[in-house]
Structure 1
Amino acid sequence: MKRIEDLKKELEKYIEEEKSKFLAKFFQAYPGGYGEGDKFLGIRVPYLRKIAKKYRNLTFEETEKLLNSEYHEHRLTAVFILIHKFKGSPEKVVSIYLCNIEKINNWDLVDSSAPHILGRYLDNKDRKILYEFASSNNLWRQRIAIISTHYFIKQNDFNDAIRIAEILVNHKHDLIHKAVGWTLREIGKRDKNLEIEFLKRHYKAMPRTMLRYAIEKFPENERIKFLHGEF
């Protein structure tokens, strides 16, 4: 595992102690927060991407070990390495991803990985697992489910995104409100009528944050009508 140690030593060059305190607060690693118990070194994402690219030929065993690190930045670096490896070994990458899904345990880890690994893999496959995740009681699996559909959305394939948004539209957590709203906004960039159809069914009852995210790019007069319940 010498290469893992080399990777970690290179990452250590970019540690910022004050940044680690900021990140712990930003990702709610405090007691009662959604990231409770996570540990941060204080390394900016561009440096993680740089090191991941350099070590993209790390073995799968080493990458999986890195993904199980107690440090958030190590896990995010492992995610970036898996994305590099996807084209050559999609089955293996997805297997590691799903076997270690509990380590994809904050919104940046989800958003950096779900479309590029699980979404990409499921492009022409049965997507049952996304519905299982969406219907679970696990916040991160639910976010993985909806964010994975962003890969399909880019292919103008909206069906699963809409159906999973329907499952999550009354969710209680702010991180799901934002994720569903963001997803609807992405659909609307390509098919505004489809987004509006969804909103007409749900906008009066959906969480306010979700609605605001969904209509962010709408003309001012349309936003006002939705926000005032007059559409």
Structure 2
Amino acid sequence: MNRKELKIFLDEKVTQYNNPKFIESDPIQIPHLFSKKEDIEIAGFLAATISWGNRTMIIKNATKMMNMLDNAPHDFIMHHQEKDLENLTDFVHRTFNSTDFKQFITSLKHIYTNHKGLEHALNIKDNSTNYQTAIHNFKNLFFEVEHESRTLKHVSDPLKNSAAKRINMFLRWMVRNDKTGVDFGIWQSHNTANLSCPLDVHSGNVARKLKLLSRKQNDWKALSELDNNLRKLDPIDPVKYDFALFGLGVFEKF
């Protein structure tokens, strides 16, 4: 396919998958449980953080997270007492356990108390056209408080060549307003043009088959290559093609 044909094909797939039916089987349903901005972004951040492995289990455990936070995540984070954290002791999702969960509660309180919340803490504050440095700086802010070293691995660092799939997915949810009711678009201080595709096994394999990606590893260098090619197709909303790549890989076994 030439670029024009590829764009037509992928735009059709975006239309096919970027609609409310997508929510039914995706972790994005967790922040959709809420209407308050801070609840949406905290629920989204926590759900995205554990988004690896079986999607049914991700949704089950992210729902459990919300229940443990009294289904009011922002209020819990801002007003919890030390004894409230004891109720989180039984949580585990793969390598993310109760120690990590408690650390995230402490770090999120720090972000909202001292850094104006997730929207401000994750914003691009230089002249970058992507979130590589912003995510790195956010990780530093997140772990300014006393923390367990084991939890560091649960926040990616693109400056160490991580593709930061889960944070990029979370950013898509918060920044992109798709007008279909899937992505939220509540972070209006951010720019959709700067978003990167959440690169994983499915989207990476499809991108390679479509000649959008040549690099074999799913790392930040690969993501930069994919970004460059997707922005040629749509410089304003390049990450909409995540729906196409993911849908083709997961639902159509492309």
Scaled by the length of structure 2, what TM-score is found?
Answer: 0.29
More helix by share: 1
Determine which structure has greater relative contact order: mean sequence separation of CA pairs < 8 Å that are 6+ residues apart, divided by chain length: 2
